[in-house]
Chains A and B, each alone.
Chain A
Amino acid sequence: MALLEVRDLTVVFQRKGEEPFRAVDGVSFDVEPGQTVGLVGESGCGKSVTSLAIMGLLPKRGAKITGTVRYDGTDLLKLSDKEMRDRRGRDLGMVFQDPLSSLNPVVPIGLQVTEVLERHRGMPRKEAMIEAKDLLDKVGIPDPNRRLKEYPHQLSGGMRQRALIAIALACRPKLLIADEPTTALDVTIQAQILSLMKELVQDLGTALVMITHDLGVVAGLCDEVNVLYGGKVVEKAMRHKLFAEPRHPYTHGLLASIPRLDAAPGEKLTPIKGSVADNIPWSQGCAFAPRCPNALDVCVQVTPAEEDQLGRLLRCHNPVVPGTPAAEEVPV
């Protein structure tokens, strides 16, 4: 049985006097124990909202969540606030995008690590401090004893993200959700943080849901990849399959837009034209149709259904023909 089973997850934001907005529209995916699954897409495709819905961190008012999120057999969406609070940080950990704003500026790093140990593992403060030192050590923060007493503004960006990873993994959760954990970091630090996460996840046997817009991150990390567009999964496949043979025009476009080291000097990048704001909702045809090079008449009339094509899920009327060149798998 899968560790996490997301079925038909739908999140609708409803504000008084405004049209309801479907941020996530029937997303389904599985995460096996120890597996790393990617959720990929550009800004506004619903990947962050999906992760917040799984964690139960969306505002109670204004967000309507339907579907099921089964963790180890229990539907997290049906749990009470208190039950969910008991699970967050213990069974599910999360790492966020901006490490500076994600740490409390007026509380020392040490306490921000120990409070989660005290809460879920019932450790007394002293014991938790020793454990916190080990944790900081494990995520590669030098001189952890000093760092425990310091405040977030005294740490570098990379170190802050390491501290947040230590916090998220402090209680050895079986599932870690990372929401663009490297976006706010320098490129060199990005690579370090990614390899750290990869290593820790392997050591601890933690399953990882990696949310990113960066296919480079996916290439280095994920076993399976879900490509999201307009709140729906448009293509789902194992990583090597997806990179070798992207079938959805959106996936293909994303891969084609990656700048390549071996490109001839002066060669133009290949962007996906338009932006997410141009899309129309899924209720009337394919949301990607206005930006799609392969669009047919049927695309703006009939919403494409999800089809299983030899272990790959695809939501497209006119997929890219296999063999059309895009990008190669680039390991990190």
Chain B
Amino acid sequence: MLRYTIRRLVQLVGVVLVLSLLLFAWLRLLPGGPVSALLGERATPESREALTKQLGLDQPIFIQYFKFLGRAATGDFGVSTGVQPGDSALDIFLQRFPATVELSFFAILIAIAVGVPLGYLSAKRRGSWFDNLSVVGSLIGVAVPVFFLAYVLKDVASSALGLPSSGRQDAIDATRVTGFFTLDGVITGEWDATFNALEHLILPAIALATIPFAVIFRITRAAVLDVLDEDFVRTAESKGLTAPVIRRRHVLRNAMLPVVTTIGLQTGALLSGAVLTEKVFSFAGVGEALAIGFERRDYPVLLLLIIMATIVYVVVNLLVDLSYALIDPRIRTR
């Protein structure tokens, strides 16, 4: 198990190196660049040249890349030119990463909390109106574009429910400990700060949760349908066990394997949804920074954020693979 984990992490280093090289080149292939973004179209050639030189963009690309690698090794990922000009890319990441983690965590929590029970009930009542309604509902969840739903929630639901429609927290005097606003309040005892952060979180989290919810629901339903037909469920029934025991121990525990895989994949995919959701709700997370970064061609910030997203994705899926062994003894005791 340990060897397996180490091997996967070593593979990750290779992935990150190759990805950084490709990204480095791809970003520079985009039309425009930080100079045009910063100075506008009417800048004089002299000032453009001066800024190009200042940013080091006049040098050949492989030299830029090796300089970047050298600095990155010391923890210096460059200075933002567009998202928050003047701040270091690493600071921007550290500032915004907790926001996105918080948002994604609540989104995936909502998706699991609704998707798994609904999937189970749907399978149990296969073909009923409840099942049909849930299946159609999940299709709508997948089909409606995230940004559209986000705008609907922002413009309609927020006023109807009296929830805030932008930002992570109102400008209240909250103590910062971890950068996770909902957690900070719990640690410091400032419950109103936590509550305020949660109010800001709920709508974007729902918008972000729709697609993972729909996928988790469908996979759970299919997995439970498979397991319900298994002989061991009939054995459990023949033992006269109570319905909750059969559900938990015999059906769900066996149906969870594909569901856990899906949750891992969806957690990774959340980031692409976060770009849209965070932009709509002006939620100062990694997704919003990526959106602004692309508009303003902020190379250092884009590079760092995308690499970090990759690392998170790989680590989440590694954790998923490791959790298989916990769920399925056939993998553990092989």
Contacts and interface: CB of A to CB of B under 8 A. Distances in A.
B44 interface: no
A57 B254 contact: no
Given A96-B234, A98-B231, A104-B250, A85 B330 contact: no
B134 to A, nearest CB: 18
B329 A105 contact: yes
A37 B232 CA distance: 25
Given A101-B231, A105-B330, A106-B254, A119 B242 contact: yes
Contacts of B333: 151, 153-154
Contact of B240 (A90, A103, A111, A151): A90
Contact of B232 (A88, A104, A108): A104
Interface residues of B, number: 22
Interface in B206-254: 230-232, 234-242, 245, 249-250, 253-254
A107 interface: yes
B327 interface: yes
B328 to A, nearest CB: 6
Interface in A131-170: 151, 153-154, 164, 167-168
A107 B231 contact: no
A151 to B, nearest CB: 4
A93 B250 CA distance: 18
Interface majority SS (helix, strand, loop, mixed), chain B: helix
A102 B231 contact: yes
B334 to A, nearest CB: 9
A104 B236 contact: yes
Interface residues of A, number: 32
A57 B240 contact: no
Given A101-B232, A102-B232, A115-B249, A120 B254 contact: no
- Of A111, A116, A164, which is in contact with the most chain B CB atoms at under 10 Å from its CB? A116
A89 interface: yes
Contacts of A108: 329
Contacts of A127: none
Interface string B291-334: 00000000000000000000000000000000000011110010
Contacts of B249: 104, 107, 111, 115
Interface in A84-124: 84-90, 93-94, 96, 98, 101-108, 111, 115-116, 119-120
B327 A88 contact: no
Given A102-B232, A103-B232, A94 B238 contact: yes
Nearest to A105: B330
Contacts of A168: 238
A55 interface: yes
Contacts of B329: 105-106, 108, 151, 153
Contacts of A151: 329-330, 333
B230 A88 contact: no
Given A98-B231, A151-B333, A57 B250 contact: no
A106 B238 contact: no
A102 B234 contact: yes
Interface of A: 55, 57, 84-90, 93-94, 96, 98, 101-108, 111, 115-116, 119-120, 151, 153-154, 164, 167-168
Given A57-B234, A103-B232, 16 more contacts: A86-B240, A89-B239, A89-B240, A90-B240, A96-B235, A101-B230, A102-B231, A106-B328, A106-B329, A107-B249, A107-B250, A107-B253, A119-B242, A119-B245, A151-B330, A167-B239
Interface of B: 230-232, 234-242, 245, 249-250, 253-254, 327-330, 333
